Amino acid sequence: MSAKKPLETSNPQELLALCSNLYDRNASAIQIKVNNYLKQKCGAQLVFLVQLLKEREEAVVQVIGDKVLEKEMRFPVTNNCLHAVMQRRTSLSADACDLDPELHASLRRVINPLPEQFLVVPVWHPSEDSICLVACLVEYENSEEFCSHVVTECFRYCIGTVLNTLAYEGEMRLKLQCQNLLIIARKLVSHLGEFTDLCREIMLEAKKLTLAERCSIFLLDQESQELVAKVFDGIPAAEEVRIAKDKGIAGHVMSTGQVLNIRNAYEHPLFYKGVDEATGFKTRCILSFPIRDETGIIGVAQLCNKIGGLYFDVYDEEAAVAFSIYCGISIMHSLVYKKIQDAQARSKLANEMMIYHMQVHPEDVSRVLNCERAHDLMPEIDLFYFSPRKIEESECVCYCVEMFDDLGLVQQWQLKRDTLTRFLLFVKKGYRDAPYHNWYHAFSVFHFSYLVIKNLRLVERGFISSLEALAFMVSCLCHDLDHRGTTNSFQMQSGTELASLYSSEGSVMERHHLAQALCILNTDGCNIFDGLTGEQYGKCLDLIRDLILATDLAHHIRLVQDQEKMASEGFDMNSTQHRQLLLFLLMTCADLSDQTKDWKVSRTTADLVYQEFFSQGDLEKAMGNAPLEMMDREKARIPDLQIQFLSHIVCPVFKILAQLFPEADCLLQSTVKNRHCWEQASAFFARKWESGHSSLDILRDLELECFADGAPH
């Protein structure tokens, strides 16, 4: 509309006074002045302006009358009186019921009761053929035509000031957002070294940026194609949460790559109420947005409940989109940094092992292959009560070859004797001189695998395959490679290279043992599986991985109920789960097999174990930590600890084995007898403690041999 058209209803001086008074750099203050002018000239009870955002088809209300809203109101311009004004392009009188519900509620707080009728007047953009504002007049005294003229003439001269001030505030908001994002980026960079901490920091900053109550981050697991939340905000000590990448709100955002702003969570079809019901948390609104790196979408962030508002607005959406870029960059760099750290840790460990252990020389292999001593298996070596610790250390490798041969594995799997010998020598050198977790322990565990395969006829009866038997025996040999004589928890608490490398996966030491086993298999001249097909080779390595990881007692405790159920209901030869549970059970039994020997072996084993425990306890004390009772040489009550260990771990394991294989009942009886011996020896220990003897000294007292029959001393 041309500015040269003469004024029909407005007083030029009053209009000029209004324009000269619009000097504020605050859109709300300017709107109040315009509202009051229109209110006075039209005789209205209340006036408010609605900004129309054409590109978003959205309406914005910041001020009602002279009341500045705590939070600007945004709602879509669809199916309401504002939409009708934009379509008709002229003023119209509307009913209160035509208002957006939220605007209707806000007006009721200002005017109650709310009038039924009000006038909606469009305001045209000065340089575009579009409506940029709408003036709403409530309870006006003059005619609709007069009021429309007043509004039109008012904005003919002040629309530029209003629009420029709104644009200025938008630019200031954008500037502040950029400054905040730079601060956030600096904070995120400082947490790249620890991925979990980075995720927590991302969630914290996302909540601060959008004023959200809670935030969760789901990252895409490329292998399982699931969205995984390892850090789930709001649920204390929450375990890993997994959802299908195309399910739920996060899955929808992952699939579409679009921001999803849900104003009423319980009315949205993708919202899952189960989490709220389980935690007691009430989700009102959700803002979910994708996280990207240069390859595409790598995850989804989900914000819940706007603090101080009914829902997340368009500015929150804009902030979230900008923030997601920094999230993706930080996560990508954190993962790359983690890979670099892992590579450095592996290199350091490999170098450490190379320095610590001597290489196997060709003459060492020849000495075993050409050994002139008779190494025919001893008459009792295949009996359950036989202790392999009777065999001299220098002869162990020869006996390993003989046991492989006796079971027919050398011939069936074309194991080259020189390769097998070299592999065994490398494995032997891969064990440190720890009191218990040394080569003799590995040899004892290996010997037990030979015993159960032979005496229970596991392969012949179809309980395990020949390939599984081979993997089982190799796993027994390698299951404690490069053991440091300390527990997983000690590695974690001490922050060792092993912990930094494997802590995120769990079973720190077991994963290291597996890595060392694979390292030896990949050493020139040590691949005993080179006669296997590609499929057999892959399956064998998978079995070795699973079996070595199964030696973590925490792994066994998670499975023991399933193993008990399998034993009580009967073993199903065709069940993949049963066959796997059996292999894990056999591996645990082999690892604990020292407890199935006679009292002397059980006592000697305890001596070695507690030497390791007490050494770790001494280290923990030196670090200023309080060790567990079993690790503390001053507090440990060995008989009580052994009775507890046998009762809760060892006896139940061999009871399951005896249920599956009655011929293995002798193993269970041996463990029960050893437990009885410890019970009878308890009083002897108590008397010695009172005399000032240490636990290890008492354990080595020859008088303890008198308890071999379980009788009181």
Statement: residue 234 has pLDDT above 50: no
Q: Which residues are annotated as a binding site?
A: 437-441, 479-480, 591, 642
Which has more confidence, 248 or 462? 462
Listed ranges 267-281, 372-386, 632-646; the one with the highest mean pLDDT:
632-646
| CATH code linked to domain 357-367+384-589 | 1.10.1300.10
Tell me: the pLDDT tens digits for 385-440? 999 999 999 899 999 999 999 999 999 999 999 999 999 999 999 999 999 999 99
C-alpha to C-alpha distance for 230 and 660, rounded to whole angstroms: 38
| Residue 373: C-alpha distances to residues 230, 369, 398 (Å) | 58, 11, 10
Q: What percent of the chain has pLDDT over 70?
A: 93
pLDDT of res. 236 = 43
Mean pLDDT lowest for which of 164-168, 253-257, 343-347?
343-347
pLDDT tens-digit series, residues 91-123: 988 877 677 777 777 777 777 777 777 899 999
> Does the pLDDT value for residue 357 go beyond 60?
no
Per-residue pLDDT at 1? 44
Is residue 196 over pLDDT 80?
Answer: no
DSSP 525-553: T--TTTTS-HHHHHHHHHHHHHHHHTTSH
Decide: 217 and 203 in contact? Cβ < 8 Å.
yes
Render the burial of 32-64: b for 16+ CB within 10 Å, e for the rest. Answer: bbbbebbbebbebbbbbbbbbeeeeebbbbbbb
Would the pLDDT of 674 be above 70? yes
Looking at the domain 12-172, which fold is it?
Answer: Beta-Lactamase (3.30.450)
Is 80 exceeded by the pLDDT of residue 556?
Answer: yes
For 260-272, what is the mean pLDDT?
A: 90
Q: Binding site for Zn(2+): residue ranges?
A: 441, 479-480, 591
pLDDT computed for residue 482 by the predictor: 92
| More confident site: 308 or 680 | 680
Q: Where are the domains of the chain?
A: 12-172, 190-340, 357-367+384-589, 592-713
Q: Compute the mean pLDDT over every residue in the chain, rounded to the nearest whole number.
A: 87
Same fold, 190-340 and 592-713: no
Residue 504's pLDDT is 65
Q: Is the pLDDT of residue 32 over 70?
A: yes
**Residue 597's pLDDT is what?**
96
Give, in words, the CATH class of 592-713. Answer: mainly alpha
Average pLDDT value for residue range 625-653: 95
Q: Tell me the catalytic residues.
A: 437
Q: What's 190-340's CATH class?
A: alpha beta
DSSP state letters, 461-514:
TTSS-HHHHHHHHHHHHHTTTT--S--HHHHHHHT-HHHHHHTTTS-HHHHHHH
Annotated binding site for AMP: 437-441, 480, 591, 642
